[in-house]
Amino acid sequence: MDTKGRPLRADAERSIRAIMEAAEQLLSENPGATMEQIAEAAGVARTTIHRRFASREALVEIMTTSAWREIGAAVEAARPHSAPPLVAMHQATTNVLQIKSRWRFALNHVNPLNEEAAGIEAALMDTCDAVFLRAREAGILPPGTDLLWTRRVYLALLNETCDPTSEDAAEPDPDTLAARIIDTLLYGVKAR
Specify the higher pLDDT residue, 73 or 172: 73
Whether residue 111 is predicted with pLDDT greater than 90 in this model: the reply is: no
1-54 and 63-187 share one fold: no
**pLDDT above 60 for 2:** no
How many angstroms separate the CA atoms of 36 and 56, rounded? 10
Q: For residue range 160-182, what is the model confidence (pLDDT) as tens digits? A: 888 766 665 566 789 999 999 99
Cα(92)–Cα(174) distance, integer angstroms: 11
Choosing among 3.10.620.30, 1.20.20.10, 3.40.50.1100, 1.10.357.10, the CATH entry for 63-187 is 1.10.357.10
Average pLDDT over every residue of 107-120: 87
Q: How many CA atoms lie within 13 A of 182 on its CB side?
A: 22
Q: Nearest CA to 151 among 96, 105, 89, 104?
A: 89
Q: Are 114 and 68 in contact (CB under 8 A)?
A: no
Task: Specify the pTM.
Answer: 0.84
| Domain map (residue ranges) of the chain | 1-54, 63-187
Rounded CA gap, 48 and 29, in Å? 23
Band of pLDDT at residue 52, cut at 50, 70 and 90: confident
| Radius of gyration for the alpha carbons in the chain, expressed in angstroms and rounded | 19
* CATH, domain range 1-54: 1.10.10
Q: Which residue has the higher pLDDT, 113 or 167?
A: 113
Residue 13 confidence class, pLDDT cut points 50, 70, 90: confident
Collapsing DSSP to helix, strand or coil, 143 comes out as: coil
- Total residue count of the chain as it appears in this document: 192
Whole-angstrom distance, CA of residue 120 vs CA of residue 163:
22
| Side chain identity, residue 66 | S
